[in-house]
Amino acid sequence: MSSAIRRGEATASMAPSNLGYSLREAGHHFVRNGSTTFGAVITIFLSLFIIGLFAMGSVLLNGMVGTVEDQVTIQAFLSDNASQDDVDALQSKISGWGEVESVSYKSKDEALTEYRDTMTKRNAADAVAALDDRNPIPASLVIKLHDPQDVEGVAKRLGSDDDFAKVADVATSDDGTTSDPADQVQYGQGTVERLFTVTNWIRVIMLVLVVLLTFVAFVFINNTIRLSISARRREIAIQRLVGASNGFIRGPFIMEGVLQAVIGSVLSIGALEVIRRFGLPMLAERISFLSFVVSTRATLSTYGLLIAMGLVIGLFGSAIAMRRYLKV
């Protein structure tokens, strides 16, 4: 009995150095359960690597989509006979709408020059020559929005506006009826809607994959800790007999889960950094019309997120495993 008390006192005296003890024991577990630990680290590495890859891909995608979305504008075509005062009043009115960032007036001459430049770049010189010094292109108001997602609502609002109806480039048929002014409001309807649909779906899929991969890593850490607990049941029973505290017994298992997660995080960050430094520049050389630049801020945020996720996965995976399988 006295020897058990002495062992209990010795164990209690180790409490201040519980962190060092937990670290040493976690290292021993790594060696003893090498294959299981290796599997857990590789799983965490792959999960966090793919999450980081998606995070970087999301930054690149947002940049590319943002560039395309910034080019989404509404063009409201104006009649050649429209009063300049009415056009100025309409421009001022639209500028006051909350969704609108800017409204600019594009004259007939500016529209013709733009058309010629576009057709020349497309090697459609015949189309330019067919104009024969005529200018059939109407003037227009070019409307840029704060949020391109509002484009459909603003276009419908403008198409039904009475002030726009007075200056719209409407066509008159032989029987005297005029076309709908809303037809003179253009924003690439079909293309824009498909663009927004695709980008929204991509973001949803990326979020689902991140959640799924996090869960997989969590399950692997949970399973590894469970196996460690099963392998050390006798040792744990002896520690209980000599009076070891719950925190003292749990420490090595928590440390083991955290170490696995941190090692997996560091490996994933290293792999991502290799891709950022060497892979992205190679892609940029081959696909020059797209930008493959990830800002330093976005990179550091991604790496910080991976480390934080690794720590959370390690801590919670270990804690839940101990709660289920370690009755202390």
- Mean pLDDT lowest for which of 22-36, 105-119, 192-206, 228-242? 22-36
DSSP letter for 172, please: B
Q: Name, of 17-21, 76-80, 110-114, the range with top average pLDDT.
A: 76-80
Separation between Cα atoms, residue 162 and residue 7, nearest integer Å: 92
How far apart (Å, rounded) are the C-alpha atoms in residues 183 and 75? 11
pLDDT over 70 percentage in the chain: 74
Whole-angstrom Cα distance, residue 253 to residue 259?
10
Q: Which of 46-55, 215-224, 251-260 has the highest mean pLDDT?
A: 46-55
**Does pLDDT of 74 surpass 80?**
yes
For the ranges 17-26, 57-66, 162-171, 308-317, the maximum mean pLDDT occurs at 162-171
Higher pLDDT, 17 or 233: 233
Displacement of CA 116 from its chain's centroid (Å): 39
- 302/308 Cα distance (integer angstroms): 10
237 HSE (CA, 13 A, CB side): 5
User: What is the CB neighbour count within 10 angstroms for residue 160?
Assistant: 13
CA distance linking residue 51 with residue 48, whole number of Å: 5
As a CATH number, domain 73-186 is 3.30.70.3040
- Distance (Å, rounded) from C-alpha 224 to C-alpha 233? 14
CB atoms closer than 10 angstroms to residue 237: 9
CA nearest to 224, candidates 38, 77, 88, 97: 38
User: Taking residues 288-307, what's their average pLDDT?
Assistant: 83
The pLDDT score that the predictor gives to residue 200 is 77
CB distance 224 to 313 below 8 Å: no
- 288: which DSSP letter? T
Q: What is the pLDDT, as a whole number, of residue 268? A: 92
Angle among Cα 31, 32, 36 to the nearest 5 degrees reads: 90
Count of C-beta atoms within a 10 Å radius of residue 215:
12
pLDDT at residue number 14: 39
Distance of CA 60 to the CA centre of its chain: 9
- Name the percent of the chain lying above pLDDT 90: 12
Q: Is the pLDDT of residue 116 over 70?
A: yes
Q: What is the pLDDT of residue 19?
A: 67
Per-domain boundaries in the chain:
2-67+194-325, 73-186
For residue 263, pLDDT beyond 70: yes
224 against 310, higher pLDDT: 310
Own/partner pairs for 232-238, CB < 8 Å, 24+ apart? 236/326, 236/328
pLDDT at 12: 40
pLDDT value of position 8? 41
Q: Does position 1 have pLDDT exceeding 60, yes or no?
A: no
Q: What do you get for the CA distance between the two ends of the chain, in Å?
A: 22
Crossing angle (nearest 10°) for helices 246-274 and 34-70: 50
Q: What is the structure's pLDDT at 68?
A: 63
pLDDT tens across 179-209, in order? 788 888 888 666 666 767 777 787 788 788 8
Chain-wide mean pLDDT for the chain? Answer: 77
Distance between CA 51 and CA 65 in Å, rounded? 20
CB 187 within 8 A of CB 73: yes
CB-side neighbour CA atoms (13 Å) of 93: 14
CB 319 within 8 A of CB 270: no
- Residue 168: phi and psi, rounded to 5, are -70, 150
